[in-house]
């Protein structure tokens, strides 16, 4: 089956530092990956669409200079939270769209805590 991994699964960082989260499609190629943010007891909120080889498309209200997205290959997208603050603490989930079937598969999520 289609598997999407995220690394790390959880991370604690100090305020002002940057954190990189990786999203990998393990057994399929994904021209498009998506990054979501989920606050406790809430639904998923789309942050940005990551396209292989081109710039990411950010949703309204998401700061592109704060949440840097790189999609350098058909199996890897990264989200870097720059100059993290406690309000950036959240559960970040990626999904990858199979370039052949267009089905979207979700990663297990990364819990970020900024102290």
Partner 1 sequence: TQLLEQSPQFLSIQEGENLTVYCNSSSVFSSLQWYRQEPGEGPVLLVTVVTGGEVKKLKRLTFQFGDARKDSSLHITAAQPGDTGLYLCAGKSSPANEKLTFGTGTRLTIIP
Alpha-carbon gap, residue 3 to 15, rounded angstroms:
32
DSSP state of 42: S
* Nearest distance from C-beta of residue 16 to partner 1, angstroms: 26
Work out the angle at residue 80's Cα, subtended by the Cα atoms of residues 114 and 15, and round it to the nearest 5 degrees.
25
Note whether 106 binds partner 1 by CB under 8 A: yes
Which window, 11-19, 65-73, 78-86, 106-114, contacts partner 1 (CB under 8 A)? 106-114
Which window, 38-46, 61-69, 72-80, 82-90, contacts partner 1 (CB under 8 A)? 38-46
- As a three-state string, the secondary structure of 72-85 is EECCEEEEEECCCC
Task: Note the residues at the interface with partner 1 (CB under 8 A).
Answer: 4, 6, 32, 34, 36, 41-46, 49, 91, 93, 95, 97, 102-109, 111
């Amino acid at each position: 089956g289609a598997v999407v991994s995220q690394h790390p699964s959880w991370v604690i960082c100090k305020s002002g530092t940057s954190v990189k989260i990786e999203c990998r499609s393990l057994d399929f190629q994904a021209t498009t990956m998506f990054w979501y943010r989920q606050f406790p007891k809430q639904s998923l909120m789309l942050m940005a669409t990551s396209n292989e080889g081109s710039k990411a498309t950010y949703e309204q209200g998401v700061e592109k200079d704060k949440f840097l997205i790189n999609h350098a290959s058909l199996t890897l997208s990264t989200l870097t939270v720059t100059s993290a603050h406690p309000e950036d603490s959240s559960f970040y989930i990626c999904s990858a769209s199979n370039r052949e079937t267009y089905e979207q598969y979700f990663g297990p999520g990364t819990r970020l805590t900024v102290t």
